[in-house]
Chains A and B, each alone.
Chain A
Amino acid sequence: MPRLEIDNLSCGRGEKALFARLDLTLCEGEVARVLGENGSGKTTLLRTVAGLYRPLEGTIRWQEPAGADGEPATLHERLCFISHDNALNGALTPVENLDLLMRVAGRPASEEQIRSILADLGLKRIAHRSCERLSAGQRRRVSLARLWLTDAPLWLLDEPASALDVDARAVLCERIAAHVRGGGLALFTTHERLDLPTVTLREVTLPAC
């Protein structure tokens, strides 16, 4: 049973702690929303779990039974992290950008796959337009298309719904819910209400220090 164990975690930028002694275990098929005001450390938490920042204290562990080759998987091999930034280069098209991102994530996708996912998401017309000519909402949707291409079990999503309209938000919620129903794990932050159909949403409040 894969699970994410966060133990006695204190995070901060520089020497100053933003929150302290967070304990959280996320098991198969669980999704949690991180609550907190601006500047309370929501983004820092996600980036620390992803391994971009080092915790001031505490541990983050990815537990999973060893695979066929006897090697336990590392968190990086199991992760899909979508941050504030879309990670799209303006001079490249959505197809080219997604192709690179999926390869770098160790989950290469063929051009047909990418194109059909973009078509499913209603982005067919812009699939071959350079990203600098897209609107903020379109760029966000292209970036989120990674969620349909990846098979990573652990999703870390930082404000995934920013710049999305109501319809796109519903599509996103449906995708997160499907992922969780299929046994995936997700940890996300959001300002807007996100209603995930047919799954229970856990809420995590960051303990002040």
Chain B
Amino acid sequence: MAKSAFMRWFHRFGSLPYFYGVSVPIARALAVPGVLLAAWGVFAGLVLAPADYQQGDAFRIIYIHVPSAWLSMFGYTSMAVAGVVALVWRLKLAEIYIVAAAPIGASFTFLALATGSIWGKPMWGTWWVWDARLTSELILLFLYLGVIALHNAIESPRTAARACALLSVVGVINVPIIHYSVEWWNTLHQGPTITRFDRPAMDLDMLWPLLSAALGFTLIFGWLTLWGMRVQLLWRERRSRWVGRMLENSR
């Protein structure tokens, strides 16, 4: 019984006009706390938190860097989950999610790389180090760009979205393999040249703003993706009756 109720909800939520209708209040519910949490987290991190005893003020970039890196991975994983849903249950909404989330995830990945590189300059004395985590992040960016490029290249929106769904699933199986292989390679080559900071457990005054920023950015990610989905949805369904009726009414 519970299952059938869930499936009913699943299909109802999957219905495109219904989703389009509820997406506005959901987006609002994500945007307001998201912006507030992210703003407080970044402000508290940049101004209120104490400086790091080793890195001084340079460490403060983590309030952007860590949420971006988290979202780069969260974004790709969620795309793969949506990919499975799209391939197995042929839910259009899941296809649209992948297409909408890819550029936003790619942006956060780029942000994580850029902030990591800026952070690396004072810490390692160079903009780029073939550190295991930075390298995996770079390859993750290429995986994102692959999905985006594939979507742009294929003309039929349905085929393009389904191809992207499969590519994200294949990609996500590879992400941990890539990560461990890069780590393996890294210990083989670099080893002692990088001084790893032996960080003590984070001070709570530093940690709370970070958590707040991470949660806030995640909500913002959801908000932006939802708007992207609305645009995709309107474009793909532009010939359908419900979009026509809605445009009539709004006139």
**Chain A residues engaging chain B, CB cutoff 8 angstroms:** 13-16
Contacts of B240 in A (CB 8 A): 15
- 215-241 of chain B: CB within 8 A of chain A: 236-237, 239-240
- Nearest residue (CB) in B for A54 is B90
- Nearest residue (CB) in A for B90 is A54
Closest CB-CB distance, A205 to chain B, in whole Å?
Answer: 25
A13→B239 CA distance, assembly (Å): 14
A13→B236 CA distance, assembly (Å): 14
A-B contact pairs, 11 of them (CB 8 A): A13-B156, A14-B156, A14-B157, A14-B158, A15-B157, A15-B158, A15-B236, A15-B237, A15-B239, A15-B240, A16-B239
Contacts of B157 in A (CB 8 A): 14-15
A15→B240 CA distance, assembly (Å): 9
Kindly list the 6 A-B residue pairs having the minimum CB-CB distance in the complex, ordered from nearest.
Answer: A14-B156, A14-B158, A15-B239, A16-B239, A15-B236, A15-B158
Overall SS of chain B's interface:
loop
Interface size on B, residues (CB 8 A): 7
A13→B156 CA distance, assembly (Å): 9
- Nearest residue (CB) in A for B156 is A14
- Nearest residue (CB) in A for B240 is A15
Closest CB-CB distance, A181 to chain B, in whole Å?
Answer: 41
Contacts of A15 in B (CB 8 A): 157-158, 236-237, 239-240
A15→B235 CA distance, assembly (Å): 12
A16→B236 CA distance, assembly (Å): 11
Contacts of B239 in A (CB 8 A): 15-16
Contacts of B237 in A (CB 8 A): 15
Closest CB-CB distance, B237 to chain A, in whole Å?
Answer: 8
Knowing that A15-B237, A15-B239 touch, tell me 7 more A-B residue pairs with CB under 8 angstroms: A13-B156, A14-B157, A14-B158, A15-B157, A15-B158, A15-B236, A15-B240
Closest CB-CB distance, A44 to chain B, in whole Å?
Answer: 14
A21→B236 CA distance, assembly (Å): 23
Closest CB-CB distance, B128 to chain A, in whole Å?
Answer: 44
Contacts of B156 in A (CB 8 A): 13-14
A14→B156 CA distance, assembly (Å): 7
A16→B240 CA distance, assembly (Å): 9
A16→B157 CA distance, assembly (Å): 12
- 3-60 of chain B: CB within 8 A of chain A: none
A13→B158 CA distance, assembly (Å): 10
A15→B157 CA distance, assembly (Å): 9
A15→B95 CA distance, assembly (Å): 14
A7→B237 CA distance, assembly (Å): 25
Contacts of A14 in B (CB 8 A): 156-158
Closest CB-CB distance, A56 to chain B, in whole Å?
Answer: 11
Contacts of B236 in A (CB 8 A): 15
Contacts of A13 in B (CB 8 A): 156
- Nearest residue (CB) in A for B155 is A14
A15→B237 CA distance, assembly (Å): 8
A14→B239 CA distance, assembly (Å): 12
A16→B156 CA distance, assembly (Å): 11
- Nearest residue (CB) in A for B237 is A15
A15→B236 CA distance, assembly (Å): 8
Closest CB-CB distance, B163 to chain A, in whole Å?
Answer: 14
Closest CB-CB distance, B92 to chain A, in whole Å?
Answer: 10
- Nearest residue (CB) in A for B236 is A15
Closest CB-CB distance, A134 to chain B, in whole Å?
Answer: 33
1/0 contact string of B64-77 vs chain A (CB within 8 Å)? 00000000000000
A15→B155 CA distance, assembly (Å): 13
A14→B157 CA distance, assembly (Å): 8
Closest CB-CB distance, B32 to chain A, in whole Å?
Answer: 35
A14→B158 CA distance, assembly (Å): 7
A81→B240 CA distance, assembly (Å): 33
Closest CB-CB distance, B170 to chain A, in whole Å?
Answer: 22
Closest CB-CB distance, B165 to chain A, in whole Å?
Answer: 15
- Nearest residue (CB) in B for A14 is B156
Closest CB-CB distance, A53 to chain B, in whole Å?
Answer: 11
Closest CB-CB distance, A54 to chain B, in whole Å?
Answer: 8
- Nearest residue (CB) in B for A15 is B239
- 94-145 of chain B: CB within 8 A of chain A: none
Closest CB-CB distance, A15 to chain B, in whole Å?
Answer: 6
